Structure 1
Amino acid sequence: MPAIVNNHNFLYFDSLIRNQRANSILSFIMATYHSKDNVGHVDQEKVARRLIDAYNLFRNDIRKSETGSGNYPGTIEKFKKQYTLGREFGVWTGKDLNLSYLAEKVAKQEITIREYLSIALFNFVEPVNQKMINPLKIVFEGMINNGLDTIDTNKVKYFFEQNEIPVDPIDETTGENKKNNNALNSLYDLLENTVFFTYNAENKTLTYCFPKPLNEVIAKFNTHYLCDDGFNLAKTEIGNDQEKYCQYLLKDVLHIQNKWEETKMGNCLDITLHPRTDTTHPVNQILYGAPGTGKTYSTAELAMAIIKREPFKLSASAEERQQILAQYNRCISVGKIVFTTFHQSYGYEEFIQGLRPDTDSSTLSFKTTDGVFKQIADRAMSDGENNYVIIIDEINRGNISKIFGELITLIEEDKRWGEPNQLNVTLPSGEVFAVPNNLYIVGTMNSADKSISLIDTALRRRFSFVEQKPDSSLILDLSLKKLLENLNNQLVKDLNSTDLLIGHSYFINKSIDDLPFIFNSSIIPLLYEYYFDNRKKVLSIINSVLDSDKFKVIDDNVGRLRIEEIRQ
């Protein structure tokens, strides 16, 4: 966790002055996590490059060349100037850029960035006038001493003044405070991004919203790090047991957070939502098409378009795709987007609500546990101003009626909570439940899967279906492009169905030299399925599209057909 910064005569909060908001910390974590080599080492150049390309953290330093491409001079040098941000907020355990215990949990989406920052602020120790302080502890104590549960920047400044801690640097010439409020505003911004406060944008205030009283939360601080004479002590011992301390905080904060969410949500009867006015996207839609047409690939862009209330379009470049994925992952980390996959063992208990063993109990007992859909529905219900998205991959692979249960009625557009005909149901647990009109359901369905469950008729009429067609224009190799077009034309003619086609993804970023691998590992197995293992039919379709001067079909009678390149 955080390192000790150099001593100052005012509230320095150095890292936050340079980079405000939780997204900066999240960018460091994700850039580091995705820059590991095969043995787990992290390269500074890769981290810096990812921060530039994927997270645009240093966008003011990027110059556009005459060709329009980004040019970033002095990557390592610029990165090192930002290094203390990650060190002070516990992203790395050392100069080797290994992610800390908590940062790994953020990268793996086990905790949110808000939970991470809450614990990081518990650990943030700053020397001011040779005295160790924790800014979060001072704010909490100030709220208790002044009987406040709502604060603004002036109140926070007053708390530090009460402790004789200047919040502004001293002008060396005049000896007076410069009054730039940089550190104060940065601290206030971080407080907004913790689980302890909710932000009121209208009057720019923070209200304490955590379920435990402030005095109980203050008891969680490790005062060993905050002793008055501990300046040198803290510099040498700050890291000795911090991981254990963080684990203790993490377990406690997450446990409280879960309870807090349960009590905060209440039920739909206590919440009023307004009818939906933005009809850019249907609330329920399914992307369907042949294998390899990019259905799952498209869901990230579609989900972000829904979140932003923008029309859906695929990224035009790899750089745009990376930026979208960075935003998408941030939305997942804060619970605005959920991704799940249906399968034949998937049930109502995993999706809506069910009983699970209570691992905290000393005896064998069970507790009611919300499924993935109910969790995001409750979050969306309590945040009616923003859109939420649940992505259900392979939606037709599950037992639809069993999984959805009463949702078949509740997900209908005019039955959503906030619409004129809003409905709610009582779950088996006795809890009242409704589906808010700001929760969007996006499913994907492989239209070639005839052997598995088809979409229930009652459910089908509640979804809009968007076809994903094979798109040969995305294939750069002209020979492969022509081959795919001929193959699909032949399949439509032979099978009289557009469901049983071959998608373009098998040929993306490939050349004609890769054709034997593509066919033998992907295309030929599909053709055997399409033609119900009819060897003659498969052979006929291959011969109709294959360049016989360059490739040949191998039929050894003891295995499936395969193709090989003819060597000259």
Structure 2
Amino acid sequence: MPEYKWALGNGDIVSADYNRTDDSLSNEQVLAELQSAFQQFGHSVHCEPVSDQLPEVYTITFDDATLGRITVCAKGTTPGGRSNLNDEQRTQQKSKYINYAHSRLQAGESAVQLGVYRRDGQTVFCAWKLKQSSAGAETPISKQIKITTIAQAMKEGFVQQDKGSGEYACAFRKEFMYFYIRNAEWLHGSLVTELADHNNPLPDSPVDNETAFRVWFTELEKDNGEHYSENTQNQYISALKAVGLTFADAIGSFSSIFEIDDIGTFERAVSAIKTDAGFEEFNRNRGNGSLSAGLDLYKRFLIERTEQVQNVCYSTGYQSDYPRNRILFGAPGTGKSFTLNHEKDLLLVDGGEYERVTFHPDYSYANFVGTYKPVPCKDSDGKDAITYSYVPGPFMRTYVKALQNSRTDAPKPFLLVIEEINRANVAAVFGDVFQLLDRGDDEVSEYPIQASEDIKKYLAGELGGNPDDYAEIRIPDNMFIWATMNSADQGVFPMDTAFKRRWDFTYLGIDDSEAGIVGKKVILGQGDYRRVVEWNALRKAINNELLTYKVNEDKLMGPYFISKKNLPEGEMIDPAVFTRIFKNKVIMYLFDDAAKQKRITLFGGCDEKAKNQYSKICREFDTKGVYIFCEGISSQFIDNAPEDDGE
């Protein structure tokens, strides 16, 4: 069986055989993926096959009748396709399925043709222009798309592939389903080469200023302390947007009033608009002076924005004994998160902010830094709608807060906390931000990076100025990035040396935090097996036994492998609570991970038939307590029988 190219959930491309059972989607699975995509944003939808005769054509209907009906001709993609090409995915659907969907399109309804690709728990929808087929009703019609296009969609969200003759195939994550449905004909045409390159998801200056004005307007308070209603906001903005057509001569070479960001130019344009013969009637018809009010507010916005613009300050002179880039690592239960949280409080004792994020295998650059995503909004008629805007991730949110604070006379620390940093592919998640981790003597990034167009526009909207003011960016000295990691966990990603050397590593030893659990005791076992056991002594005994098996130190158990919240203030631990937690955490960890290859030896006190069965080991623990373990462990508690308490 030949190997084919596959796009993983993180966007990497690998070669692997095609397993028809695991690597293809049934009609039921395709239906579930469509249901999931269309249910986004709170929509209540009904998704079902058109009929038994058309099992690969689905009707999407909504409880909100104004959203209409959508016909989707869809099938799971499979590898292969054209001869000698192992880097494509394709669908093969009967001509009659495609022609039914096309007939709905001709009838004025929404209809599309999709392929569904799923790998590593991630889904990408592939889309081709819906065309009528002249082939026989039962003839399968093939549609192909490159695996590189799917991989790019995994990482970026929405991409296009040039099919030649001015036609594009599309690949996108489910977040872009409604964007695609609304613009399918346009997206498959030749007028979107800039979107095919994924450089300019939105037009430049007009949307940039309009978006910033919308945000400013939403937060603006009237004299009575109330915010403007959404209806008023939409009326004013709609009137301003109409200037480009109604008063084109007044704004000269600009196509939109939102292209103007210079006060002098704006005032000259306003003067020309208000002397236009049609101004009074337009202003009156637009609803009680919406245009004049909108122009006044846009001028106020430009003035405040101009006053806000200052040079970006990366070096604030903020002093701290804590490292800027820091990773705490150690065995499970050594108190990494607890220590980091405590030192976070010390860092922020005089002010500042922090944000916490946990990495996982599917975490991406788009999640961490930011990307364009669909967001709910109101259209000019005040109805619910979907638009696409840059949504920052935790890195960018913390970065902006640190830069905003850097312009003040009292700089404060801004901390990004990353839990389980090595559970994601850090090289892919950090991307070019990796370069910024190299800090100079002043704790500012030593080497800047070129910001993307998306990031430049976002920073200009948040910090003021023009996008080009942020062509190069650095991490300021008041931004801290701290993380935890446990290299012993299963399923973690390796870190390369270049990434590691940009961090200050702090190792928490296996017994460094034991003071908090010393003396915590519990009575375990029944009858002759009944013993008073100190949890810390039992932990150490198990660790020492694991070391004789040549188990690495990072797989041993730290003092808080059993969480501190489960240990009482007093000396004695509730036996029932401890037994439940010990079985669910300690025995499971030893059985499935740390002592997986040494179960028979470690659980030497169990019945011979129980040593390889987790449930039976747990059952014996109820009776035998520490005597489920080998002699090297249980012998340390021989003399710990409790005083007679009636049992």
Q: Does TM, normalized by the shorter one, top 0.5?
A: no
TM-score, normalising length from structure 1?
A: 0.45
Which gives a bigger RCO, structure 1 or 2 (Cα 8 Å, sep 6+)?
Answer: 1
Name the structure where strand makes up a greater proportion of residues.
Answer: 2
Return the index of the structure with the highest Cα Rg: 2
TM-score, normalising length from structure 2?
A: 0.40
